[in-house]
Amino acid sequence: MTATPATVFEGALLVTQDDRRRVFRGSLRVDGGAITEVGETVDRAGAETVDASAFAIVPGFVNTHQHVAMSLLRGIADDRDLGAFLEVLFAVDARRTEADLEAGAAAGIAEMLLSGTTTFLDLYYGEDAIARAVERLGIRGYLGWAVLDPAMTTQTGVPVENARQFIHRWAGHPRVHPLVAPQGVYVCGAETWLKAREVAEAEKTLVHYHLSETRREVHEHEAKYGDRPPIWLDKIGFLGPDQIAAHGVWLTRREIELLANHHVGIAHCPNSNLKLATGGVCPVTELRAAGAVVGLGTDSTASNNSLSMLREMHIAGLLQKHQRWDAAALPASTLLDMATIDGARMLGRGSDLGSLEPGKRADFSMFRLDHPTLLPARPEAIVSHIAYAASEEAVDSVYVDGECVVRHRVLQREPWEPIRRSAESAADALWPR
């Protein structure tokens, strides 16, 4: 990655997401991949200048749950509940190769970048292929190697040791952040959970996993072990900080307090949960009230079928309002928090990602204020427009570490067409004929 010169973005509508959630017309200076000044005026000395008056600059979105290599499988198992959905996916997984994992990951990363996502958290196997796609396209990836009981996996070797080796291979990379990811209670026994935590503590990484996604998962676990999943994970000594649990749909009040007290972050995936008919609704309001940090995740294109965080904000807000009979539930400002600063906090990056502030990394998107979905382009309405109305096509340019990775809706590191062709070719071998 080549060094980028200092740049001043002048006259933009800045959606800062700082402590005061300021939205104002001003300028942003980027130097050495970091934001150095934010204000009505900034120092222009030695910097290139960009007229940003036609744009809103918004912190990059943080997608907190994803299986990006499954982008080849969009539409392959539609209109099925989770059990039937997984039957299809497990059959496909058995045929996947390193090459098609990378092809799917590259296509999915392109989709995320083009819709304003600059950081994502992934859970899959074969994460080396996904890491290579991260390197190629310039996004920031937190990549969790899927860990299961040895008897439950098709991986060669012991999954938890595969995760440890993956972490060693990519440790210290500027944009690839490896971690360990137990799949869920339905394929991981106590020994696997505790070994995963041991690896994470030894390697100083996050832990990511699925939790209480469906009523069936919860009831079957309770029938087998006598406790619901979060209670059982606490009893075996697993729960703790630096963990992110995806879904959290079927949680009791006790479990909400337990997860919050252990500082477990929750990745809310409303589109996927609705499409797979999980039946319940993640108790986002109660989790936040208890002190838990809640972010947003798209899950995969096989169950969503989009990687757009704009869509995720929109549906997350509507779902909570409808379910609670409360139009004020999860207002636009909270939805944008979940997609930016709260997602960064969940990853342990609240100090340097998620907002436009001096000292933070220059991860942001430029939204076209002349786009029809942002009309009227007023400072007092822009957060609402982003949460409820904005189209992905409104995202003009995207920066990660101050590097322009999308300019005027064109990927900068690699062109889209060969990525598309590679993905289509790889999908041919996976789809049923």
pLDDT, residue 2, reads 52
Q: Name the CATH superfamily, with its identifier, for domain 61-346.
A: Metal-dependent hydrolases (3.20.20.140)
Decide if 131 contacts 109 (C-beta within 8 A). no
pLDDT above 90 (res 339): yes
**Average pLDDT over the chain, rounded to an integer:** 96
pLDDT tens per residue across span 386-396: 999 999 999 99
> How far separated are the first and last CA of the chain, in Å rounded?
41
| Beta strands 48-51; 7-15: pairing state | parallel
- Which residue ranges does the chain devote to CATH 3.20.20.140? 61-346
Region 60-75 average pLDDT: 97
pLDDT, residue 1, reads 47
* CATH architecture label of 7-59+355-416: Roll (2.30)
Helix 190-203 vs helix 159-170: angle between axes, to the nearest 10 degrees? 10
pLDDT, residue 239, reads 98
pLDDT tens per residue across span 287-305: 999 999 999 999 999 999 9
pTM above 0.75, yes or no: yes
Rounded-to-integer distance, Cα 265 and Cα 8, Å: 35
- Nearest in space to 106 (alpha carbons), one of 362, 361, 422: 422
- Which residue ranges does the chain devote to CATH 2.30.40.10? 7-59+355-416
pLDDT tens per residue across span 239-284: 999 999 999 999 999 999 999 999 999 999 999 999 999 989 999 9
Q: pLDDT band at 363, cuts 50/70/90?
A: very high
Q: pLDDT band at 3, cuts 50/70/90?
A: low
- Nearest in space to 268 (alpha carbons), one of 239, 238, 254, 288: 288
